[in-house]
Amino acid sequence: MNYTFRSKYATAGFETTIGLWRACSPITNLGQQCVSVECPPSEGDTGSFCSKILAARAFVTLACIISGISTSLLFISVATSDNAKQISLMAAKGLAFACLVMGIIGVAVGINGTTETALETKLDWGASAIIGIIAIVLNLCGAIATVLIK
């Protein structure tokens, strides 16, 4: 799963988006100019835009990695003997819920970080934020289905 949260705001008919990794704004009729969101880690800077962006990046990345590992373990449990099957199935169940928790935290912090900017401007949710929420619901369904596997 690839999560991207974009918050958008419009000024003078142009829509600017801010995401976890990039921010884009239009250049009159020439198209869009996108720049990387640079957030160097700093000490004692809790609650800031960069702290939220870095935390959301970490949780979303971990959720994606854990999701892949959990899926791999489910396939391994199908193809192995009874003893290895039980171990890989239990690990897959645990990782499915760990992925769910990390995804929920990442989506929540990401949406909060991109909508509450350093400019104190309240931004609208972009389509990617809504897709992130839908992905969490699907992840919840997958975690429940994983628990039901015997």
Main-chain phi, psi angles of 99, to 5 degrees:
-65, -40
Kindly report the average pLDDT of the chain as a whole number: 79
Q: Which domain holds residue 46?
A: 7-148
Q: State which amino acid sits at residue 86.
A: Q
Stretch 59-72: mean pLDDT? 92
Longest dimension (CA), the chain: 64
**Domain total for the chain?**
1
Residue 80, domain CATH: 1.20.140.150
114-122: long-range contacts at Cβ-Cβ below 8 A with a sequence spacing of 24 or more? 114/5, 114/6, 114/7, 114/18, 114/19, 114/20, 114/53, 115/7, 116/49, 116/52, 117/7, 117/18, 117/49, 118/48, 118/49, 121/9
Closest CA to 24 of 109, 103, 114: 114
- pLDDT range class, residue 7, cuts 50, 70, 90: low
Question: How confident is the model at residue 97, as a pLDDT?
Answer: 93
Considering the domain boundaries, does residue 99 fall inside one?
yes
- pLDDT range class, residue 4, cuts 50, 70, 90: very low
* Residue 114 vs residue 108, higher pLDDT: 108
Question: How confident is the model at residue 3, as a pLDDT?
Answer: 41
Asked whether residue 105 carries a pLDDT value surpassing 90, the answer given is yes
The residue whose two tokens read 């990046």 is 57
- pLDDT range class, residue 6, cuts 50, 70, 90: very low
- pLDDT range class, residue 137, cuts 50, 70, 90: very high
Considering the domain boundaries, does residue 58 fall inside one?
yes
Main-chain phi, psi angles of 122, to 5 degrees:
-85, 120
Considering the domain boundaries, does residue 68 fall inside one?
yes
Considering the domain boundaries, does residue 142 fall inside one?
yes
Considering the domain boundaries, does residue 2 fall inside one?
no
